[in-house]
Amino acid sequence: MSGMTLFLYIFVMAGVTYLVRMLPLVIFKKKIENRFIRSFLYYIPYAVLAAMTFPAILDSTSSTLSAAAGLLIAFITAYFELGLLPVALLSCLSVFICEIILTNLGIFL
Amino acid sequence: MKEYLRGLKDGLPVGLGYFSVSIAFGVSAVQAGLSVFAAFAISLTNLTSAGQLAGLSVIAAAGGLVEMALTQLVINLRYALMSVSLSQKMDDSVRLWNRFIIAFGNTDEIFAIASGQSSSVTAPYFYGLMTLPILCWSGGTLIGAAAGKILPEMVLSALGVAIYGMFVAVIIPTAKKSLAIALVALGAAALSCCFTWIPGLNNVSGGFAIIICAVVAAAAGAFFAPAEDTV
């Protein structure tokens, strides 16, 4: 692949991504008064994150079992409000431990 | 300056989460045949996980530029919703040119943290919030692209769950306090499972499916449980 082709790919990727983020932020400068739209925008972040997480999280590691373990630990630690980073790290750690156990049991790999 | 530092601190966990996830992206980029520098340049200019991964597959398949543009548009369209939502959260002191910079840093997690603020969001706060995630995302990609091959498979596998763990950590504490949010999140997740597992529906591209799920769930929430003083 030529350097120019690669540059164009990255330019288009970055350009489209930026425009999608920038235009609404610049266009909507006034407060939206409509109650339905305000409620909708209030719910949107949680709906987007939930849709992105499920069921994709189950495919995010080498095994559905270890991913399920990561999900379970993420749920528990998030429920006790440990914060973004501890939840993410403990979730990774539980995947890691789970895969070691699975490998040793011969269930995995 | 105080606002900037407050943002910097709030951005630290996001940055660390990004760091681990972007290592995985760097590894994938090099596996797809890109140079270390190209992988770094993509992360520095795009600052998004799903869109970049999809972009990699377009590049690897030598797809056209229109295909690339459409893929990015569909997968990243959720940011448009978030930007509309974020526009309602901006402090009166935020100027137009501030918004051009803020827009660049509007990722899922940064948006989630900014939305979770009890007061309106100022430009310095947002700049602080986006600083570490940008540095960590591009820095992690660089490290992953340059040295990822030496990381054991099990470590990479464990890192794969990091970004989703972070999403769960954003949703659960709020869902605990609001039944409406819990139901909206549950509905979106259930719809998303349908789009993944039900034959026919699973032909809808991932980015597009996420938009449909989120819009339907959030609209149902707004219809059945309109929140009073929101956003």
What would the pLDDT profile of A67-99 be if each residue is shown by its tens digit?
999 999 999 999 999 987 789 889 999 999 999
Q: How far is CA B166 from the centre of its chain?
A: 10
Confidence tier at B231 by pLDDT (50, 70, 90): very low
- Given CB atoms, is A64 within the 8 Å cutoff of chain B? no
Q: How many CB atoms lie within 10 A of CB A34?
A: 10
Amino acid identity of residue A22, one-letter, is M
Q: Examine the pLDDT at B229 and tell me if it is beyond 60.
A: no
Residue B207: per-residue pLDDT: 64
Angstrom distance (rounded) from CA A4 to CA A15: 16
Residue carrying the six token digits 């940011």? B79
Identify from A61, A84, A98 which residue to disrupt to test chain B contact, counting B C-beta atoms within 10 A and taking the largest count.
A84
Measure the CA–CA gap between B7 and B9, rounded to whole angstroms. 5
Chain A CB contacts of B176 under 8 Å are 79
Mean pLDDT score, A26-42: 85
Question: Which of B17, B79, B210 is the closest to A84 by Cβ?
Answer: B17
Dist. CA B181–CA B225, nearest whole Å: 9
Pick the more confident residue, A2 or B198: B198
Interface test with A, best of B65, B67, B157, B197 (most A CBs within 10 A): B157
Of B75-79, B119-123, B187-191, B225-229, the poorest mean pLDDT is in B225-229
B217 in Cβ contact with B183 (< 8 Å): no
* Separation of alpha carbons A16 and A22, rounded Å: 10
Provide the number of CB pairs (under 8 Å) joining chain A to chain B.
315
Give the pLDDT score at B94: 93
What residue in B sits closest to A91 (Cα-Cα)?
B165
Higher pLDDT, B13 or A59: A59
Which chain A residues touch B187 with a CB distance below 8 Å? 47
**Band of residue B55 on the pLDDT scale cut at 50, 70, 90:** confident
ipTM over 0.90: no
Q: At residue B193, what are phi and psi to the nearest 5 degrees?
A: -65, -40
- The helix or strand, by DSSP H or E, that contains position B148, with its residue range, turns out to be none
Among A51-65, B18-32, B118-132, the range scoring the smallest mean pLDDT is: B18-32
The residue of chain B with its CA nearest to that of A20 is: B80
DSSP secondary structure of A12-42? HHHHHHHHHHHHHHHH--SPP--HHHHHHHH
Cβ-defined contact of B221 to A40 (cutoff 8 Å) = yes
Q: How far is it, in rounded angstroms, from Cα B47 to Cα B110?
A: 11
Tell me the pLDDT tens digit for each residue of B162-215.
878 888 988 999 899 999 999 999 999 999 999 999 998 888 776 677 778 988
Instruction: Give the chain B residue whose CA is nearest to the CA of A108.
Output: B154
From A9, A31, A92, residue closest to B159, measured CB to CB = A92
- Whether B129 and B7 have beta carbons less than 8 Å apart is answered as yes
Decide if A72 touches B, using CB distance below 8 A: no
- Give residue B91's Cα distance to chain centre: 23
* Highest mean predicted confidence (pLDDT) among A45-49, B111-115, B120-124: B120-124
Q: How far is A107 from chain B (nearest CA, A)?
A: 15
* Residue recorded with tokens 């910079």: B101
Residue B134: pLDDT band by 50, 70, 90 thresholds? very high
What CA–CA distance (Å, rounded) separates B24 from B19?
Answer: 9
Question: Which residue of B82, B167, B172, B186 to mutate against A (max A Cβ within 10 Å)?
Answer: B167
Residue A108 has pLDDT above 60, yes or no: no
Residue of B59, B104, B189 with shortest CB distance to A9: B59
A16 pLDDT exceeds 80?
yes
- Structure token digits, residue A15: 């350009």
Those of residues 41-60 in A touching chain B at CB distance below 8 A are 41-57, 60
